[in-house]
Amino acid sequence: MYELRGIRKVFADGTVAVEDISLIVGSGEHVAFIGPSGAGKTTLFRLLNLTLRPTAGALIFEGQDVSALSDAGLRRTRTRIGTIYQQQNLVGRLRVVHNVLAGYLGRWSAATALASLVRPRDVAGAGRALAQVGIPEKLWARTDELSGGQQQRVAIARVLVQDPDVILADEPVSAVDPSLAVSIVTLLRDLSHESRKTLLMNLHSVDLALGHFPRIVGVREGRVLFDVAPDKVGPELLAELYAGHRDEELQLEQLRDGKVSFGAACRPLPGFRK
Amino acid sequence: MARFPSARPADRFRASGSKRLFPYLFTAVFAACVVFSVREAQVDPRVFLEGDALGNVAKFVRGMFPPKLDVEFLGLMAGPAIETVQISVMGTAIAIALGIPLGLLATSSLTWRGVLHERTSRTGRWLLGVVPYAASRAVLSVFRSIPEYVWAFMFVRAVGLGPFPGVLAIGVAYGGMLGKVYSEILENVSPRPLETLHAAGASRVGVILYGLVPQALPNVIAYTLYRWECAIRASAILGFVGAGGLGQQIELSMRMFQFDEVLTLLAILFALVASVDFISGRIRGWVA
């Protein structure tokens, strides 16, 4: 699915977000990315969904080097990659049905897109997607009237309508109620399993990653620190991953001592800024 | 990924130093400007007491009462009143037609800057982005920096007397203002939904329709309605240079010293502006 060779990303202001990452992800794989805030995970995901262009290195998607793609080819490739963000990536003023149907925009012509705003096209399809994520009754609601967890389900429904080959979920649960985090992660996992989609998820919570993914990639300072099965991720490895990031270290300690329950660890930590 | 660089102590010290001086400096400069302007602009209230100044004011005010309210005059003025509304509506329509395309081109986040264009090829970004962006900004600023009064004067020369030059003047001058404000509204929408749609393969038009327009629409409508209110007032002024409507009648009555007619006409204008204000307020409440 993906092959990354020595990917590096330096922003215009000189910040090095991704130092040097090489990685191969096979079709249908489920991979969780963990690491301290500022490690470059979000930038990595924006490189993977072809929003950003790597400063150096090669990014190969389905055997095709994406730097060789034309503007049109880039667009076609993007329709095969679905992204779910942390939050606030829906248009609150639009009804849920339109936010879900926006998943079709990669395939629709401009005229169809405009006509659908007046009279929604595939209402049944949008309804089915919402039923899959458990909120079929919200089809005609205004999106900004939904809770954070429900909005995240709308974002998932949109990706279902888009029907990509790979789903990238960038911290999909750090802005939702901790008690809902587990259900959203399992929902994403099960849906991509059923439809044999590749799933890459960026997680702030170590236990969610270890509990639901067969492959864990630890990212630190823009590099891959480890890339192993969850049973190989021990306390030493995690301590090394989060070394120097006090809040996360504290969270790990409390996890080890059993002071924090499963869900509570999903809450954004005090020092965590976006 | 936002980063928050912490302010270094040295920076903070320098900032507080200049902050302490700034209010005094500002006050001094401001006072100097006022003193200078009073002299240069020949502001002198004493001229009201000289000669027959007050007498003229009194004559003007006395002439206004009672306002002329006979049926024949009111009937005659219905035409110009409607014409004023029509000029403002048509002028605003032209302004919208000019403002939307120019405003879209003048939005940097749509044409060349930001995350939507990270992967667009460099020549594509210049030819289809920066060049049209700069050109439309220049056109918009020419349109709005020339007052509508001057535009009307030029259009009267070009197409003759009547409401049409007024329509054109409002259309061009307000098109420049609408385009500028539209582009500012569009640049201030949240970029996150745009990035999401773009990443899913949506075309430029798709991103505009599903990400940009729904976010910007309430502000765009509110500002356009506000401009329509201004257009009603402006169309009265434009009449002074022969561009039709109530303004032309006010100018005629003034020249004939028919101040009772002037008062009636001003009352009609006031009623028009107030009702437009009321209507636009209702629509704004409805779209918000």
Encode pLDDT of B200-251 as tens digits: 988 888 888 999 889 999 899 989 998 998 888 888 788 887 777 888 888 8
Q: Does A230 touch chain B (CB under 8 A)?
A: no
Q: Does B199 touch chain A (CB under 8 A)?
A: yes
Query: Would you place residue A268 in the very low, low, confident or very high pLDDT band (cuts 50, 70, 90)?
Result: very low
Residue B138 CA, distance from chain mean position: 17
Worst-scoring range by mean pLDDT, B45-54, B129-138, B175-184? B45-54
Which residues from chain B sit within 8 angstroms of residue A106, using beta carbons? Answer: 200-202, 206
pLDDT recorded at residue A254: 67
pLDDT recorded at residue B119: 64
pLDDT recorded at residue B12: 41
- Name the minimum distance, in Å, from the CA of B33 to any CA of chain A: 41
Higher pLDDT, B255 or B51: B255
- Name the minimum distance, in Å, from the CA of A258 to any CA of chain B: 32
**Distance, CA of B208 to CA of B213 (rounded, Å):** 6
Contacts of B206 (CB under 8 A, 6+ apart): A102, A105, A106, A108, A110, A113, B197
Average pLDDT, chain B: 84
pLDDT recorded at residue A262: 45
Identity of the residue in A51, A91, A273 whose CB atom sits nearest the CB atom of B4:
A273
pLDDT recorded at residue A263: 43
pLDDT beyond 90 at A81? yes
Query: Would you place residue A257 in the very low, low, confident or very high pLDDT band (cuts 50, 70, 90)?
Result: low
Q: Determine contact, residues A168/A49, Cβ cutoff 8 Å.
A: yes
Q: Do B210 and A15 touch (CB under 8 A)?
A: no
Q: Which amino acid is at A92?
A: G
Query: Would you place residue A260 in the very low, low, confident or very high pLDDT band (cuts 50, 70, 90)?
Result: low
Query: Would you place residue B182 in the very low, low, confident or very high pLDDT band (cuts 50, 70, 90)?
Result: very high
pLDDT recorded at residue A147: 85
pLDDT recorded at residue A87: 72
All domains of chain B, ordered by start, with CATH?
A: 69-287 (1.10.3720.10)
Residue of B nearest to A73 (CA): B201
Residue A272, H or E segment:
none
Identity of the residue in A75, A85, A273 whose CB atom sits nearest the CB atom of B192:
A85
Instruction: Pick the residue of B126, B192, B196 with the most A CBs within 10 A to test the interface with A by mutation.
Output: B196
Domain limits of chain A?
90-163
Q: Which amino acid is at A182?
A: V
Q: Do B209 and A51 touch (CB under 8 A)?
A: no
pLDDT beyond 70 at A103? yes
pLDDT beyond 80 at A178? no
% of chain B exceeding 90 in pLDDT: 24
Higher pLDDT, A229 or B97: B97
Query: Would you place residue A269 in the very low, low, confident or very high pLDDT band (cuts 50, 70, 90)?
Result: very low
Region A54-74: mean pLDDT is 88
Q: Do A88 and B192 touch (CB under 8 A)?
A: yes
pLDDT recorded at residue A169: 92
pLDDT recorded at residue A274: 31
Region A39-45: mean pLDDT is 90
Higher pLDDT, A174 or B210: B210
pLDDT recorded at residue A78: 92
pLDDT recorded at residue B49: 79
Query: Would you place residue B31 in the very low, low, confident or very high pLDDT band (cuts 50, 70, 90)?
Result: very high
Query: Would you place residue B76 in the very low, low, confident or very high pLDDT band (cuts 50, 70, 90)?
Result: confident
Identity of the residue in A82, A110, A159 whose CB atom sits nearest the CB atom of B206:
A110
Identity of the residue in B4, B119, B217 whose CB atom sits nearest the CB atom of A53:
B119
Region B40-66: mean pLDDT is 81
pTM score: 0.74
Region B176-200: mean pLDDT is 91
pLDDT beyond 50 at A267? no
Q: Determine contact, residues A44/A18, Cβ cutoff 8 Å.
A: yes
Q: Where are the alpha helices (DSSP H) in chain B?
A: 9-40, 53-64, 71-105, 108-111, 122-125, 131-145, 148-159, 163-187, 191-199, 204-207, 213-238, 245-255, 259-287
What region, left, alpha or beta, does residue B66 occupy, with left being phi > 0 and alpha being psi -120 to 50 degrees? beta
**Distance, CA of B231 to CA of B101 (rounded, Å):** 20
Average pLDDT, chain A: 85
**Distance, CA of A205 to CA of A198 (rounded, Å):** 20
Q: pLDDT tens-digit profile of A218-255?
A: 999 889 999 988 888 888 888 888 887 766 666 666 66
Q: Does B109 touch chain A (CB under 8 A)?
A: no
Using the structure block, give the residue that is written with the tokens 């206004």.
B64
pLDDT recorded at residue A166: 94
Q: pLDDT tens-digit profile of A119-170?
A: 898 899 999 999 988 898 988 999 989 888 889 899 999 999 999 999 999 9
Q: How many CB atoms lie within 10 A of CB B270?
A: 10
Region B40-54: mean pLDDT is 80
**Distance, CA of A128 to CA of B62 (rounded, Å):** 76
Reading the block at residue B227, the tokens are 């401009």
Q: pLDDT tens-digit profile of A180-223?
A: 888 889 889 998 898 899 999 998 888 888 889 999 999 998 89
Contacts of B169 (CB under 8 A, 6+ apart): B91, B148, B149, B151, B152, B155, B238, B243
Contacts of B181 (CB under 8 A, 6+ apart): B103, B223
% of chain A exceeding 70 in pLDDT: 89
**Distance, CA of A148 to CA of A22 (rounded, Å):** 34
% of chain B exceeding 70 in pLDDT: 91
Q: pLDDT tens-digit profile of B101-124?
A: 999 999 888 887 776 776 667 777
| Strand duo A223-228 + A215-220: pairing | antiparallel
pLDDT beyond 80 at B18? no
Contacts of B213 (CB under 8 A, 6+ apart): none
Chain A window 117-146: which residues touch B at a Cβ cutoff of 8 Å? 117
Identity of the residue in A15, A71, A94 whose CB atom sits nearest the CB atom of B120:
A71
Q: Determine contact, residues B165/B245, Cβ cutoff 8 Å.
A: no
Strands (E), A103-182: 166-170
Using the structure block, give the residue that is written with the tokens 């503007």.
A71
Strand order in the sheet with A215-220: A64-65, A56-61, A2-10, A16-25, A223-228, A215-220, A30-34, A198-202, A166-170, A81-84
Residue A24, H or E segment:
strand A16-25
**Distance, CA of B104 to CA of B119 (rounded, Å):** 20
Contacts of B238 (CB under 8 A, 6+ apart): B87, B148, B149, B152, B165, B166, B169, B170, B244, B245, B247
Strand partners, A219: A224
Worst-scoring range by mean pLDDT, A54-68, B66-80, B183-197? B66-80
pLDDT beyond 50 at B8? no
Q: Do B201 and A105 touch (CB under 8 A)?
A: yes
pLDDT recorded at residue A272: 36
Instruction: For A34-97, give the DSSP string.
Output: E--TTSSHHHHHHHHTTSS--SEEEEEETTEEGGG--HHHHHHHHTTEEEE-SS--S-TTSBHH
Using the structure block, give the residue that is written with the tokens 């049973």.
A231
Chain B window 218-277: which residues touch A at a Cβ cutoff of 8 Å? 218
B27-53 in b/e form (b: 16+ CB < 10 A) is eeeeeeeeeeeeeeeeeeeeeeeeeee
Contacts of A100 (CB under 8 A, 6+ apart): A126, A129, A130, A154, A157, A158, A161
Reading the block at residue A162, the tokens are 């888009």
